[in-house]
Amino acid sequence: MVATTSSQITLLDNLPILRLIARLDIKGSNLIKGVHLEGLRVVGDPQVHAAKYYAEGADEIIYMDTVASLYGRNNLIDVVSRATEHVFVPMTVGGGIRSVEDARTLLRAGADKVAINTAAIKNPTLIKELSDVWGSSTIVLSIEAKRVSDKKWEAYTDNGRERTGLDAVEWAQKGAAQGAGEIFVTSVDQEGTKKGFDCELVAEICRAVDVPVVASGGFGSLQHLNDLVTASRPTGVAFADALHYDKFSLKQIRQFCIDSNIPTRQAVSGAEVYK
């Protein structure tokens, strides 16, 4: 347990309830993981891992097709439809969504939300098109950000491979204004390193938008989670490496939140029980 000062406790008491999210990066039919979104290695069967995280009390599951934009297709329809048989928490699906029809197909397969990145940057009106059909709460803007200088980050596409020239914080603002109901921000610099979140990046985006923000990339210790929530106000945190390799369980992470006065939900045997 991390010791907290009285001023820190006050801050944590004012935080939104933090969602603990299991992130599964998918390539083909496999769950994969890398560092800086590169050097991807096969971890196992995404269905097995998703069922495990659901049983441990994950608040949500997010699936990201890591090569969908590169190859111009989305391979997650079967993964999502199979997951609905044994996972009963909200599922977000991202990767290769280029149109209203692409989103409709995934939502019909069982997704609760769709995340868009590359296609939204190429065509920002897509965000509004999607939110007009299903509502902003269904549309997540995924941002892969790399630090370029002090307090400056650039948005990338294609799994952190392609530069866009867009300021990541400004892009988050524009996306929210277009109708994105949530921002999912991944620090490419920190992703897979286990060296901690880019707390400054998350804080800047949280200050810039009035929609929920989910942080991803860098978790390696419980102290990292404490650092993140004391520096910013995310409404969710996504975990991947630490879960896939059994370094931490969602039960351990949730208990740490409770012990550290970080507002969170309580989940028992895969069913949410709200405090």
Catalytic one of 25, 60, 65, 241: 25
Helix (H) or strand (E) segment spanning residue 148: strand 139-149
pLDDT tens for 73-132 read 556 888 899 899 889 999 999 988 999 999 999 999 999 999 999 999 999 999 999 999
Among 22-36, 54-68, 123-137, which is the least confidently predicted range? 22-36
Give, in order, the Cα–Cα distances in Å from 242 to each of 47, 90, 145, 151: 17, 21, 21, 27
Residue 95 has a pLDDT of 87
Q: How far apart are CA 222 and CA 156, in angstroms?
A: 28
pLDDT greater than 70 at residue 134:
yes
Task: Kindly report, residue by residue over 176-191, the tens digit of the pLDDT.
Answer: 999 999 999 999 999 9
Residue keyed to tokens 């210790």: 221
Assign 35 a pLDDT band (cuts: 50, 70, 90): low
Tens-digit pLDDT profile for residues 142-179: 999 999 999 999 999 987 789 999 999 999 999 999 99
Q: Is 204 noted as a catalytic residue in this protein?
A: no
Residue 7 has pLDDT above 60, yes or no: no
154-157 CB contacts, 8 Å cutoff, 24+ apart: 155/121, 156/188, 157/69, 157/117, 157/118, 157/121
pLDDT of the residue at 215: 98
How do the domains of the chain map onto residue ranges?
6-263
Q: Is 45 a catalytic residue?
A: no
Residues with Cβ < 8 Å from 207, sequence gap 6 or more? none
| 6 vs 47: which has the higher pLDDT | 47
Query: For residue 7, how many other CB atoms are within 10 A of its CB?
Result: 8
User: Over the stretch 203-235, which tens digit does the pLDDT of each residue have?
Assistant: 999 999 999 999 999 999 999 999 999 999 999
**pTM for this model (two decimals):** 0.89
Name the pairing type of β-strands 60-65 and 91-94.
Answer: parallel
Mean pLDDT of the 47-59 span: 94
Exactly one of 144, 154, 191, 198 is catalytic; which is it?
144
Give the integer Cα–Cα distance in Å for 166 and 181. 20
Percentage of the chain with pLDDT > 70?
85
The residue that leads in pLDDT, 19 or 12, is 19
57 phi, psi to nearest 5 deg: 100, 25
CATH of domain 6-263: 3.20.20.70
| pLDDT at position 70 over 60 | no
267 pLDDT exceeds 70?
no
